């Protein structure tokens, strides 16, 4: 499976209406976690982040939120941001637009129901959506943007989902490519945990020593 650890800047220019990086506030990194929430793993991520006073954005799958609403409630209570990662994790390029939008909206309803009563979540000025696999048709993106969603992409990829990746390489690439304003993606999933548990604490420790803070979108 081929993927970039660092998304080339020319791709940002081709899709300028998607969010790839944040304004370069001095020494800030924007950590994101896809595919959860997952029992034990999402809890471990929260505890690890807490050690560095780090906030992050969790792009949750609706079907996982439905099974584990208490984890989303805990993320919200600890002041992490909650984003939408669709309900069924469809690949946009292989899904017709009508079905794709319905799936995203289904996830939105599930997340809102899980967080009913959360003033912080319901008062968010923008809805955050990250397309599964980073693949989305222009028609899908336009429809979601018309519904008020911000399409959040990625600047730096940890590669934690890659079963043949050596954790040391993941860490090396993260440290090389992550800059202030970078949106970095990890995954709080069973598949990714082998690499995540080795790389995330080390990256946080090094970035903290370099003076970075960790902010939610």
42-96 per-position pLDDT tens digit: 999 999 999 999 999 999 999 999 999 999 999 999 999 999 999 999 999 999 9
Pair type for strands 57-60 and 28-34: parallel
Q: Is residue 84 part of a domain?
A: yes
Instruction: Give the residue numbers spanning the domain of 17.
Output: 9-214
CB 153 within 8 A of CB 7: yes
Over pLDDT 70: what percentage of the chain? Answer: 95
Q: What is the CATH number of the domain that holds 84?
A: 3.20.20.370
pLDDT tens per residue across span 172-207? 999 999 999 999 999 999 999 999 999 999 999 999
165 vs 11: CA distance, rounded Å: 24
Closest Cα partner for 141 from 100, 182, 107?
Answer: 100
Total of domains in the chain: 1
195 vs 165: CA distance, rounded Å: 8
214 vs 192: CA distance, rounded Å: 21
What is the model's pTM? Answer: 0.95
78 vs 131: CA distance, rounded Å: 25
Catalytic residue numbers, as ranges: 34, 187
CB 110 within 8 A of CB 88: no
The predicted structure's pLDDT at residue 29: 97
48 vs 44: CA distance, rounded Å: 6
Q: Is residue 4 part of a domain?
A: no
């Amino acid at each position: 499976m081929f993927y970039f650890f660092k998304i080339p800047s020319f791709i940002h220019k081709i899709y300028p209406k998607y969010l790839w990086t944040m304004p370069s506030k001095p020494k800030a990194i924007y950590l994101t976690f896809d595919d959860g929430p997952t029992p034990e793993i999402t809890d471990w991520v929260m505890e690890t982040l807490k050690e560095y006073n780090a906030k992050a954005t969790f792009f949750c799958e609706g079907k996982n939120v439905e099974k584990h609403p208490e984890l989303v409630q805990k993320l919200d209570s600890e002041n992490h941001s909650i984003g939408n990662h669709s309900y069924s994790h469809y690949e946009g390029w292989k899904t017709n637009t009508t079905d794709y939008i319905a799936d995203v909206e289904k996830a939105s309803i599930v997340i809102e129901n899980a967080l009913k009563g959360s003033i912080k979540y319901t008062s968010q000025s923008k809805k955050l959506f990250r397309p599964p696999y980073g693949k989305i048709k222009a028609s899908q993106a336009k429809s979601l943007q018309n519904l008020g969603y911000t399409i959040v992409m990625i600047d730096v990829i940890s590669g934690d989902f890659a079963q043949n990746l050596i954790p040391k390489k993941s860490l090396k690439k993260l440290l090389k490519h992550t800059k202030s304003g970078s949106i970095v993606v990890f995954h709080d999933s069973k598949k990714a945990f082998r690499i995540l548990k080795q790389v995330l604490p080390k990256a946080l420790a090094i970035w903290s020593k370099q003076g970075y803070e960790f902010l939610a979108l």
